[in-house]
Structure 1
Amino acid sequence: MKIVVLVKQVPDSGAERSLRTDDNTVERASANNVINEMDEYAIEEALRIKEAHGGEVVVLTMGPDQATESIRKALSMGPDAAVHVVDPALHGSCAVATSKVLAKAIEGQNADLVICGAESTDARTQVMAHMIAERLGVAAVTGARKLTIEGTGLTAERQTDEGYEVVTASTPAVVSVWDTINEPRYPSFKGIMAAKKKPVSTLSLADLGIEAGEVGFDGATSTVLDHGKRPPRQGGNAVTDDGEGGAKLVEYLASEKFV
């Protein structure tokens, strides 16, 4: 089984993040960039499937040159190879354009399964798996907390607010996972050294047959017009219980539309 894992390099969610002042895109040049946390669970799940059923795991990333750092980190966990889609014209791409690029790159891999994190910590759209599956014409099994593979069939427990749903599909398919599905392994020293020798191929828009005008700011279906800093936290409202504390609390919750 050949598995493609989508990995995105994002600014560390534990540090202060900001948008650029010139084009309102995420500031990446000066940020502490890391692998999107949810994608590490996708890598781990792919490796577990490979260990159980055999095959190959390929990491796929779309990003600037510096994304190579995250590619090597991903490879140190155990995948066999990586593909890096890099092109200056990709800067400013929206989710729709990104899905087009990734789908084209996936088509060249002849993958049986595509696994990705349920969301990225910078965009948090939770739509990439659906968009890619639609473009590839395959099933989308999203929000998995458990995944079982049997032959060409897969069964997933899809996490919901009320519990979970059991969903079945046939490969090829696109699966997105939550951080409840497993516990990612730490790269070993041997894995880190081996990652330096694993093949990483690069693809440009021309290689994928995509025109520059279809992506980036020119091809974007949405645009950030303005942004500002989050306002500082305000002091809370104290409710003194003089016999009517419960009523005052409910009144406050109602005013904030919590009840």
Structure 2
Amino acid sequence: MSNKIAFVTGATSGFGRAIATRFVQGGWRVVATGRRMDRLQALRDELGDAVHPLCFDIRDSAAIDAAIAALPDTFRSIDLLVNNAGLALGTAPAQKADTNQWRQMIETNTLGLVNLTHALLPRLIETRGAIINISSIAATYPYTGGNVYGATKAFVSQFSLGLRSDLHGSGVRVTSIEPGLAETEFTLVRTSGNQQASDDLYRGTHPITGDDIADATWWIANLPPHLNINRLEVMPTSQSFAGFQLHREDKT
């Protein structure tokens, strides 16, 4: 087993679970975090002692500090941080949106991410490690109802570039992965469990899978230390750039 350790947030499903699995299969140890202890325990049961589960809400900065302070010695030296935890809530346009959902996305996708990153930076600098932030093509290409979600992912992409600049000379690499249409629990969460909406969205599209992003993350993490991937935009072949919206007034 490798001595390298990855710290993966949002490891209870989707990209995070697939990433944790890929790294353990590759010989790394993984600190797997999330809010659902039953799922974290199931991941540990499946992958064994190479996984150390940490259950906390990334919006709680005190919980972040306590969880990191309590890491056992065998999981304390972090070589890779994968900031994957995040969510999209609601499909309404801004004028009809629930601001409580906006607040939850901001607190999770941005504040939680920056607080955790700041807490782990000393360890990552010490190991000359890497940070991989999971952003989205929504950071670049707007879509109706994507308002605050897209804004939070734009923050993640820009924060990644800012980190890269601040960490210049430290040996720490920083990457923003920006996936397009991907089939995970994303749409179920966004639509409050509407399975039909999820099925309709993905039908016939051959979307990105969790394993696809796990493979991309693995590749980036294992590049020679003199190489940095700044941004990696990934779309399924079935998806391309959307056209501009055009509204026509009915003058009849």
Which protein shows a greater Rg? Answer: 1
TM range (shorter): 0.3 to 0.5
| TM-score normalized with structure 1 length | 0.38
Q: Which has the higher helix share?
A: 2
Q: Which has the higher contact order (CA 8 A, sep 6+)?
A: 1
| TM-score normalized with structure 2 length | 0.39
